[in-house]
Structure 1
Amino acid sequence: MQNSDSTEVDMVNASQDTFQTEVIEKSRSAPVLVDFWAPWCGPCRMLGPLLEKLEQEHQGKWQLVKVNTDEEPALAGAYNVSGIPHCVLFSGGEPVDQFTGALPEHMLQEFLSRHIKDENVLKLELLASSDPIAAVRQILEMPSIDQGLSPVLWNGVKEMLRQGNTDDLKEALEAISSADLVNEKSALLNVLSEEPSPEEVQQLGKLFGSEKEIRDVLDQFMESLERNKGKQEKDRLIASFHLLGQSHPLVAEYRKKMATILF
C-alpha cells in the first residue's frame, strides 16, 4: 500500500510462487528481511510497523518482505518457523540470521547493524580499494570508529608495512586497539604496538615480496623461536601468518615447523 508520502515503501508480500524472485534473488544485491506473521498475532501487529519504519529510514539499504503464515504454511515450515513473529534475514541468496518475537526498536537496530553497512563504511571501502592508506587517514579523523571499518584499517596497516611507511602506522594501531578491533589479529598488534623500528617494519614488509623473501623472513623468525620460545618470538610468527593470510601455501608449512619447535 502506498499513500501520498513519497518516502513510503511499497509493501511486498511473498508467496511460495514469488519467494525465489522477491527474496532469494533480490538478496543477492541487498539484504532482505522476511517477516513471518499472521493477522491474528498481537506481537506481529506490534513488530510490523517498527520494521516498516526502519525500512523507510534506511532508504533502500535492505528490503522488508512479509509472509502470511496462515496463507503460506509450506514456506513457514521450510524455514522452521515454530512461533511468530519470526524474522529471517537473507543475504547473497542465503538465510544468514534470524530472531523470534517482537523486539524493541533498539534491538532491531542492533540486529540490522550487523548486516547493513553504513554509507560512510561503503565509501571508505571503495576508497580503500584504490588507496588503502588514504582510507585509514580518513578513518583516523572520525570521532568514533565503526566496527565495520576493521578490515579497512587492517588492510591499511598491511599497505603501510608493504611500503615501509611508519608515519601513520602507530596512530592506526592505536585506533585499532582503542576501538576494540583486535580480534584474532592480536599477535600482530602485540608485535607492532611496541613501536617497531624501521628495520622491523621493513622486515615485515618483505612478507609481501617474492617467495624467497617471505621464506627468508619466516626462517629468521623460526631461528629466533628456536633460541628463545618467548611470547614475542611466537607473536612474530603468528603475526606473519595473519599478514600472509591463512590460505597462503607457506602458512601451513611454517605452522607445522612452529609446532615442531614448540611441542
Structure 2
Amino acid sequence: MSQALIADVNASNFQQVVIDNSHHLPVLVDFWAPWCGPCKSVMPILEKLANEFAGLFLLAKINIDENDELANQFAVRSVPTFRLFKNGQSVAELTGGLPEAEFRKLLEAHIERPSDSLRAQAQQAFDQGELNQAVGLLREAAELDPSNYKVQLDLVQMYLQTGQLEDATKLFNQLPTEAQTAPEAKSVMGIISFAQAVAEGEDISVIQAKLKDNPDDVTALYGLACFLALHSEYEKAMQAFLKVFMLDRDYQEGGARKNLIKLFDMLAVSEAELVKTYRRKFQSLLY
C-alpha cells in the first residue's frame, strides 16, 4: 500500500524534492512559519490529505523563518501560502487558513489517479449497454484506489440510470462524508431525490392525462417537473416548477422552491447560463 509523501524542504534540497519530483507527480509546497496560527491549523488538514491520497502528490513544507531566500524567490508575502508545482512549474496558488474543501478541489484538478482509466472504460461499457462489465470495472477501480470516491459515485449514477433506486440510495448513504458533500455529489443527490419523487408519484401517462384536462393541476405539474428533472429535461423541469410556484408556492411545503434551488446547485457548472436565466426568473417571483 502506498504511503503519504511528506518532506521538509530547504534551499539545498528544493530542486530535488520539489522541481524534479514535480515531473512525476504534483508537489504542493506549504510556506509556513512557527509563529503563524493559521499555518498550525492548516497543517493537519494537509497531512490528512497526504495520507488519504497516499503517494499521488507530495507535500513539501518550507519554514520561511529558516528559508527566507526561497520565500523571496517565490514572492511569499504572507503565510500560509501554498504553491502547486507540476512539470517544474508553479501552476496554482492558494493563501490563508483555508478549509479542507479548497485544498481537495485544488488537488483533484491536478492529480492523475490510477483508477481514472478504469472509470473511463466503465463509462464506455455502460454507454454500450454492458452494465455488468461496467460494474466489474468500477469494482476493480475501487480495489485499486479505495480513496477515489468518484468510483462509487459513478456506480450510484449507473444504478440510477438503470432504475435501481434502492441500490443507488443504499450505496450513496454508505459513502464517507467527504464523498457525499463533494461538488460531484450534488448532481447525484438531486437525481436520487427526483427518482424517489417519481417512484412515489403517479405514472407519467396519468400525469399527462390530468394536465390535458387541467393545465393548472398543481399535483400533476409537480409530478411532471420531477419526471423531467430525472430525465435531464432541465429547462422544461424549471419551467414546470416555476408554474407550480406561481400557482401554489406552499405546495409540498415549498417543494417547487426547494427543487428549483436543487436544480440550480446541480447545474451551476454544467449549465451555468441556464441556471442564471431561471434564477433571475425565480427571483422576480419572490418580490
**Is the contact between residue 30 and residue 82 of structure 2 (CA under 8 Å) also seen in structure 1?**
yes
Q: 1:156 aligns with which of 188, 212, 219?
A: 188
Q: 1:138 aligns with which of 152, 171, 174?
A: 171
Answering whether residue 83 of structure 2 is matched by residue 79 of structure 1, we say: no
**Is the contact between residue 245 and residue 256 of structure 2 (CA under 8 Å) also seen in structure 1?**
yes
Q: TM-score when scaled to structure 1?
A: 0.50
1:147 corresponding residue in structure 2 = 178
Aligned AA (1:128): L
Q: 1:226 aligns with which of 246, 250, 253?
A: 246
Answering whether residue 233 of structure 2 is matched by residue 235 of structure 1, we say: no
1:95 corresponding residue in structure 2 = 93
1:89-133 Cα distance to aligned partner (Å, 9 max, x none): 44473233555xxxxxxxxxx96996489x6441x3124335534
Aligned identity (percent) is: 13
Question: In 2 relative to 1, CA 208–32 (structure 1 residues): closer, same or farther, beyond 3 Å?
Answer: same
Question: In 2 relative to 1, CA 16–219 (structure 1 residues): closer, same or farther, beyond 3 Å?
Answer: farther
Q: 1:13 aligns with which of 4, 9, 12?
A: 9
How far did residue 260 of structure 1 move? 2.5
Question: In 2 relative to 1, CA 208–90 (structure 1 residues): closer, same or farther, beyond 3 Å?
Answer: farther
For the aligned residue pairs, the C-alpha RMSD in angstroms reads: 4.9
Q: Quote the Cα distance in structure 1 between the aligned partners of 2:191 and 2:243.
A: 26
How far did residue 65 of structure 1 move? 2.6
SS at match of 2:30: strand
**Is the contact between residue 221 and residue 236 of structure 1 (CA under 8 Å) also seen in structure 2?**
yes
SS at match of 1:154: helix
1:262 corresponding residue in structure 2 = 286
Gaps of 5+ in 1: 1-6, 100-109, 167-191
**Is the contact between residue 69 and residue 76 of structure 1 (CA under 8 Å) also seen in structure 2?**
yes
2:163 corresponding residue in structure 1 = none
How far did residue 208 of structure 1 move? 5.8
How far did residue 79 of structure 1 move? 1.3
Gaps of 5+ in 2: 86-90, 109-144, 160-166, 204-221
Aligned AA (1:60): G
